[in-house]
Amino acid sequence: MSNTKEVFKPNKKFAQNARIKNMCEYQALQDFATEDYEGFWGGYAKEKIDWIEPFTNVMDESNFPFVKWFEGGKLNVSAQCIDRHLDKRKNKAAIIFEGDRGDKQVITYLELYYNVNKFANLLKEDFGVKKGDRVVIYMPMIPEAAYAMLACARIGAIHSIVFGGFSAEALKDRIEDADAKIVITADGAFRKEKPYMLKPVVDAAIDEKSPVEKVLVIERNNEDVEWVAGRDYSYNELIKEKSAKCEAEVMDAEDPLFLLYTSGSTGKPKGVQHNQAGYILWAQMTMEWVFDVKENDTYWCTADVGWITGHTYIVYGPLAMGATTVMFEGVITYPDAGRPWKMVEEHRINQFYTAPTAIRVLHKMGEHEPANYDISSLKVLGTVGEPIDPPAWKWYYEEVGASKCAIVDTYWQTETGGHIVSPLPGATPIKPACATLSLPGIMGEILDPQTGERVEVGEKGYMCVTKPWPSMIRGVWGDEERFVKSYFGDVKKDGKAVYFTGDGAVYDEDGYITITGRTDDVINVSGHRMGTAEVEASIKKHPNVAEVAVVAKPHAIKGEGIFAYIVLKSDDGVADEVEEVKAINEVIKKEIGNIAICDDMVFVSGLPKTRSGKIMRRILRAIAKNEEITQDISTLEDPSIVKKIQNMVRK
Ligand code: WT7
C-alpha cells in the first residue's frame, strides 16, 4: 500500500532545530518507553511539571482500568500554565485574541496571571465555589473563556465546558448530569459582524428543578439580556472589585481537572473525566513534540474551547509550555476564505492547526487565496478530527505549506486527552492522509478484536492502546460501569482488556497507521462526534414520528453527513414533505443544536429489521451511499422493504 503512496521527508533545516530530529531519536524514545515504561514517564513528569510536592509512585494499575498516575504528587495546573512562567516570560504574549470584527487584544503572561486570579477570587468569594464543585462554562471564543477554565483550575473546581452550539436541552442535560451549581456564560458574541446570543439559551436551560444557583455573565456584545435577580451577575461589574492575588489550591495529582461530555454509540453523552497531572503533562509534551513550538513562535489552533482540541491545544498545552496561543472568535471563511491567511500574515503565525472540514472549505472557496498573503512564517500545519482525504491534504501541503511545512495528521479523541498517533514534524517522513506512528510513550496497536493479535499489513483492525498512559480518561462521570464497558470491553490482548478507541485502522508496509473511521454507531460531522442514538432520540420527540434510523453518509465538506430514515405515524404529513422536514429539524435544533441537523431525510414505509426486531443499519448505510446490497436480506422480517426504501431514496 505504501508503495503507491508518496512519501515526504521532513524539511532538513527545520529538522536541525526540532526537539525530535530524526527517526533514530524517535525510535530511541519509543524503545526507552517500551523497556522502562515508568522510568520514561516518571522522568518526564519530574522534568516538566512544577511540583508543589513530588510524587512517590509513577503508575498504579493494580485496579485497572482505574489507573493512578504520579500519586503523592501535588501541583496546581493554573500555576503550571501561568505562575511558573512569570520569571522568564511575564511580558510575553500568552494569548493573542482576534475578534470576529477584527478587534485585537494581546494578553501577556503577567496580565493573564492577574485576570485569572481575579476570576478565581470572584468564583470563590461571590459564588462560593469550592474545590471539587462542578462549574459549567457555556461561552464564545473570547479570552474570558480561558480565564474561566484556569480560574477553576486555580481553585480546584471541575469545569465542564458545553460547546456554544448546543441547544438549551443539551445544556440542561449536561448541567444536571454534572450537578453544577454555577454556569459561566456571556450575553453573546459576534459572528459575521452580527451579534448572536448565548444567555437566553442558559435561561431556557434552567428551570425550578435545576441545580444551578448562580450565573455569571460576561458582557461581550452588550445586547440586552434578562437578568434574574439573585441568580445572574455581571462579570464586568464584579471583577472590578477583585484582588489580583489568589493562592493556588494544592491539588493531588489524581484530583479531577475537568469533565467534557462526548457522544457514544448508545444513550446520552458521557462526561469524560480528566485529572490534573497526567493530563497537563501530556498536553505539554505533545505541544512540544508535535507542534515543536519555539520560544518566539506564534501558534494558532482554530478549534473551539467547547471541544477537547480547544482544551488541550488552545489553552492547557500551549500555556503549560509557555507559548503564545491565538484565540479567534470569528468564522474562518468570513469575510472571505482569505481570512486565516490574512491572520497568519498579520500575526506571523508559525504553527496552524485546524480540521479537515475547514481545509476542504478553504480549498473549495479560496483555492488560491493563500498566495495572496505572505504566509511564509508557517512551519508546521496540523489537522485533526476525522480522516483527511488525499486531495485536501495535497492542497494543504502544497498551497498552504508551500511544500516545505510538515503536516501533522494528529489522531486522538476526547478520551485520550492528547495526541496518540501523529507524525513528528522534524522526524517522521509523512504520507498524505496518514496519521503515521504512535507517539513516544504511547503503546498504540491495531488489534484483531477476535484474537487480540496485531493485524497483518493491509488488514483492518481495531485501534487500541495496550498500556495506560498519563492523559487517559479516568472515568465517565457518575457511571463506573459505563466507563469500563465503553472502553475496555471489546478487545483483549493476552487475556487482558486494553483501551479501544472505537476506531478502525490499518497498517501499511512501513508500519504506518491509517485511521479508517469509527466502527460503532457514531457519526463524525465536521470533526464533531454525534451518536446516532442521540439524534434518533431527538427525532422521536416529534409527535408524528413512529420510527427512525440514522446513518452516516459521506459528505464532500463535512466528511460525514447525517442521513435519517423516518417512518411517520400518519401519512398526511408526507403530502407536505418540505414542511415535515422543517418541523423535524426544528425538534433536532431544540434537543441538540444546529450541528445535528440532518442532511438527508427520507420518509419510508418501514425499516429493514431482523425477525427479532433489530434494525439493519448496514443495509441503510449502503442504500444511503447508493451501493449494491451485498448482504443476505432473506432473513429480514420483510425482505421487500429493501426495494421499497431504495425506490423512496432514489425518487
Ligand atoms: C474521533 C474523536 C481529537 C479532537 C477532535 C475530535 C476521529 C480524530 C482523527 C485523525 C482520523 C480522527 C476519530 C476519533 N479523529 N482525529 N487525525 N484521523 N480520525 O475529538 O470528538 O473526541 O472525536 O475523531 O474517529 O475517535 P472527538
Domains in the chain, CATH or no CATH each: 1-35+410-520 (2.30.38.10), 36-331 (3.40.50.12780), 522-650 (3.30.300.30)
The length of the chain in residues reads: 651
Ligand 1 atom nearest 517 alpha carbon: 25
% residues pLDDT > 70 (the chain): 99
Listed range (302-306, 419-423, 513-517, 612-616) with the worst mean pLDDT? 612-616
- 553 CA distance to ligand 1 middle (Å): 17
Instruction: Show the cell assigned to 584.
Output: 423535524
- 79 CA distance to ligand 1 middle (Å): 29
Ligand 1 atom nearest 411 alpha carbon: 17
Q: What is the rounded average pLDDT of the residues 407-434? A: 98
Query: What is the torsional sign of CA 120, 261, 204, 187?
Result: positive
- 551 CA distance to ligand 1 middle (Å): 18
Given a cut of 50, whether residue 1 has pLDDT beyond it is no
- 527 CA distance to ligand 1 middle (Å): 7
**pLDDT tier at 571, thresholds 50, 70, 90:** low
Given a cut of 80, whether residue 552 has pLDDT beyond it is yes
What is the pLDDT at residue 3? 45
Find out whether 620 and 565 touch, Cβ atoms under 8 Å: yes
Ligand 1 atom nearest 515 alpha carbon: 11
Q: What is the rounded average pLDDT of the residues 13-22? A: 98
- 174 CA distance to ligand 1 middle (Å): 21
Q: How many angstroms separate the CA atoms of 549 and 617, rounded?
A: 8
Ligand 1 atom nearest 412 alpha carbon: 3
Find out whether 297 and 154 touch, Cβ atoms under 8 Å: no
Find out whether 414 and 308 touch, Cβ atoms under 8 Å: yes
- 342 CA distance to ligand 1 middle (Å): 28
What is the pLDDT at residue 575? 64
% residues pLDDT > 90 (the chain): 93
Residues whose beta carbon lies within 6 Å of some atom of ligand 1: 262, 307-309, 384-387, 409-414, 435, 501-503, 515, 517-518, 524, 527, 529
Given a cut of 60, whether residue 2 has pLDDT beyond it is no
Give the residue, by CA position, lying nearest to ligand 1 atom 12: 386
Pocket-testing residue among 308, 412, 595, ligand 1, by greatest number of atoms within 8 A of Cβ: 412
User: Does the global pTM surpass 0.85?
Assistant: yes
Pocket-testing residue among 529, 534, 558, 560, ligand 1, by greatest number of atoms within 8 A of Cβ: 529
What is the pLDDT at residue 427? 98
pLDDT, tens only, 68-88: 999 999 999 999 999 999 999
Residue 389: count of CB within 10 angstroms of its CB: 16
pLDDT, tens only, 251-298: 999 999 999 999 988 778 999 999 999 999 999 999 999 999 999 999
Given a cut of 70, whether residue 573 has pLDDT beyond it is no
pLDDT mean across residues, the chain: 96
What is the pLDDT at residue 267? 77
Ligand 1 atom nearest 435 alpha carbon: 17
Residue with cell 508551500: 402
Ligand 1 atom nearest 528 alpha carbon: 21
Find out whether 300 and 347 touch, Cβ atoms under 8 Å: yes
Q: How many angstroms separate the CA atoms of 576 and 482, rounded?
A: 42
CA 469, 475, 480, 481: dihedral to nearest 10 degrees? -60
Pocket-testing residue among 162, 386, 414, 415, ligand 1, by greatest number of atoms within 8 A of Cβ: 386
pLDDT, tens only, 613-645: 889 999 999 999 999 888 888 889 999 999 999
Which is nearest to 533 in space by CA: 520, 516, 550, 545?
A: 550
What is the pLDDT at residue 572? 61
Phi, psi dihedrals of residue 309, rounded to the nearest 5°? -60, -40
Pocket-testing residue among 357, 411, 499, ligand 1, by greatest number of atoms within 8 A of Cβ: 411
